[in-house]
Structure 1
Amino acid sequence: MSEGLFWLNAAIAATFLLAGFVKGVIGLGLPTVAIGLLGLVMTPVQAVSLLVVPSLVTNIWQLLAGPRILPLLRRLWTMLLGFCAGTCFSAVALDPGASERNSMLLGVALIAYAIVGLSKKRFSVPAHAETWLSPLVGALTGVVATATGVFVLPAVPYLQALDLDKEELVQALGLSFTVSTLGLAAVLAVQGNFQMSVAGASLASLLPALCGMLLGQAVRTRVRAETFRRCFFIGLLALGVHLAWRFAG
């Protein structure tokens, strides 16, 4: 193994360890952190390919941790269907080879997500608006996810506005992220970017992600979640500015 390849693999393992740690502490952030940091050393398409297995396994784990899967499916199925539609549209309409543009879009998405998180603003969605808003939010999330690999906007702020209790929200995030990951994996496979060699590398990234998640869950009881959350969003903001500025030209 060449020295360059060794350091690349070490960077990938460290990234997934950190991303899993963040998810363990606050319940989300694995794909956002992983894609953001990996975007510094590879294209977003390569980063998303590595993300598939760790993201899918950790999100299924999060989804199955609660008892309310069926009620959430009945409530959110139009959002999930919208995500699939947005993903399919983006896969056809967007150029997967435009790596610099996608990296800049990733930076913009991270900036927007960080600003929303740091603002601490809480919105509320009226029950009657869910009928048309859920599929729209899902479709927009699918478009953003296919272009950048980050599937938190606008889905996460929307789910936070549905007045779910803590356990329902965590499980709803797991459900949304699971469907998002499966959709992205399907797009990558169709485009030829998720082959057996990539699948093996993605599987190898699962171990550091799980170790980080377990460590984060242990730390969660010792550190104020709000303090960690603020540092997390400040870090994302800095990373997003770096990526957007780096590829703006």
Structure 2
Amino acid sequence: MLSTSLASHQDENAKLPQLMPLDAFEGSLSNRVFLCLKDAILSLAFQPGEKIRKAELCDHLGVSRSPVAEAVTRLAADGLVDVIPQAGTFVARFSMEHIREGAFLREALELAAVEAVAGHITDDQITQLRRNLRLQTVMVEDEDFQGFYELDAQMHEMVLSFTGYPKVARMAENSWLQVNRARRLLLPQPGRVAETLNEHRKIIDALANRDADAARLATRDHLRRLIQKLEPLERDHPELFMAK
């Protein structure tokens, strides 16, 4: 009887997605657990609507219930999980309303950022962006979608950081959470990463030329094209979205 119960538990535990090790993250134990689960949700290792079983997570990560409970509370505050009394904790489903709102906020911040940065960008900062772009090219050639995704995020973070305002990057990241998660569904699409790479090149070229108008236009087109690509997902993957 005991062996049957143990086997059943192991089978359930084996269903957990591949999680990044806690030592890949920084901070306190509860913060590392939070970042680990956030990464799993944003990368779609945990699918929208999937139930998160805290006991199994504790066993898998080798931690007590407290840091997992704290992480879930923070994820709920970010809108990444839904805690339903008497039912459990579930990965939040997508909402096109939330995606559009996040994209609207991100566009406002990033357009202001590129306009400001174009006026004072240094040669060293341009070199950093060019280096990032070359690495993106390698990721496209190798069809390394995860690597491309990480470099994509780094490029945008660099531009925002060049404003000299630390809060801008944090606000942009928070507004982009739901978009960030949904866009993972797009990267494996044939030709999408190559299109994105070309859009990035136009932004960096405009910044290198210190052309604020061209930088704003290239950034606006880039962000809006992404939303246009996301719009059909609700129709194509209704199971991943909140019921209307």
The answer, yes or no, to whether TM exceeds 0.5 is no
More helix by share: 1
Structure number with higher strand proportion? 2
Taking structure 1 as the reference length, what is the TM-score of the superposition?
0.30
Higher relative contact order (CA 8 A, sep 6+): 1
Structure having the higher Rg: 2
After TM superposition, the score normalised by the length of structure 2 is 0.30
